[in-house]
Amino acid sequence: MRRLARLLPFGAVGLLLTVLTAWGPAIFGWFNDGNLVATYESRNTAPPAWLTPEDWDTRSWHATWGPGIRSDLISEQVWMGSSLAMTTDGRRQWTVIHVRVGFPMYAMRWLDYASHLPEEDTRTGRREWLMGVNMEGVVSGLLPARRIDRRIPLRPIWTGFALNWVFYAACAWGVYAGARAIRAAARRRKGLCQRCGYPRPASRTGHAGSRCPECGA
Ligand SMILES: [Zn+2]
């Protein structure tokens, strides 16, 4: 139980860093690469199933990414030049954008229903849970316009979130353990108590005494 309590601060730091490395790219991230898979006459089967809402007649899949951020646009519209275009064949023309953020793994996400909000769900916080908290009103003018809204996601991607959490908690522990080892080595060299830094009287054999007169270590 005490050992568990000792690990708590590292868990807290790990959690904080997991959230910050997701919210950071969500607000400040940029896109520097991308990929487009478009079809015109037939359904686009290239995007992974989990990205494609059921019964969608998808035509366009436009993925863009940068450090710690990735956006996947899935649309029933067709891709014309550099943007989406409606077709006149009477098909539904819905679009959704999945944004994933986090580092080293994607840990949080939000959806941007460019054409509609599919769930007529007005429960408090439901919209923010799905779509994140839009920060455009806060950061506009401070940051350049971006293809994807700057939003703070609330929704975790559980696998990535857990892996990042463990990763950052381990990093925090490593920094702490390393700093302690360096301090202990420096004290040992100077003949000080490794635990409290109190000068230790030399014993008869010329080595530092076996017990610290200050802390008893
Ligand atoms: Zn001591």
Q: Is the pLDDT of residue 178 over 80?
A: yes
Give the model's pLDDT for residue 127.
84
- Ligand 1 centroid distance, CA of 196 (Å): 4
Exposure on the CB side of residue 93, measured as CA atoms within 13 A:
11
What protein residues have CB closer than 5 angstroms to ion ligand 1? 193, 195-196, 198, 212, 214-215, 217
How much is the pTM? 0.84
- Ligand 1 centroid distance, CA of 171 (Å): 28
Domain ranges of the chain: 2-165
Least reliable range by pLDDT among 44-53, 140-149, 155-164:
140-149
Closest CA to 166 of 108, 110, 105: 105
Q: Is the pLDDT of residue 115 over 70?
A: no
Q: Taking CA 164 as the corner, what is the angle to CA 26 and CA 72, rounded to the nearest 5 degrees? A: 40
Give the model's pLDDT for residue 17.
98
- Ligand 1 centroid distance, CA of 87 (Å): 79
Give the model's pLDDT for residue 99.
97
Give the model's pLDDT for residue 207.
57
pLDDT band at 117 (very low <50, low <70, confident <90, very high): low
Closest CA to 216 of 196, 202, 190, 189: 196
Average pLDDT over residues 100-120: 84
- Ligand 1 centroid distance, CA of 216 (Å): 6
- Ligand 1 centroid distance, CA of 213 (Å): 7
Greatest CA separation found in the chain? 98
- Ligand 1 centroid distance, CA of 208 (Å): 12
Percent of the chain exceeding pLDDT 70 equals 92
Which tens digit of pLDDT belongs to each residue from 61-101? Answer: 999 999 999 999 999 999 998 889 988 888 889 999 999 99
Least reliable range by pLDDT among 79-83, 119-123, 149-153, 159-163:
119-123
- Ligand 1 centroid distance, CA of 169 (Å): 29
Give the model's pLDDT for residue 89.
85
- Ligand 1 centroid distance, CA of 183 (Å): 13
- Ligand 1 centroid distance, CA of 214 (Å): 5
- Ligand 1 centroid distance, CA of 197 (Å): 6
- Ligand 1 centroid distance, CA of 206 (Å): 18
pLDDT band at 169 (very low <50, low <70, confident <90, very high): very high
- Ligand 1 centroid distance, CA of 199 (Å): 8
Give the model's pLDDT for residue 140.
83
Q: Is the pLDDT of residue 197 over 60?
A: yes
Closest CA to 76 of 95, 89, 50: 95
Of the two residues 66 and 204, the one the predictor is more confident about is 66
Beta carbons of 63 and 35 less than 8 angstroms apart: yes
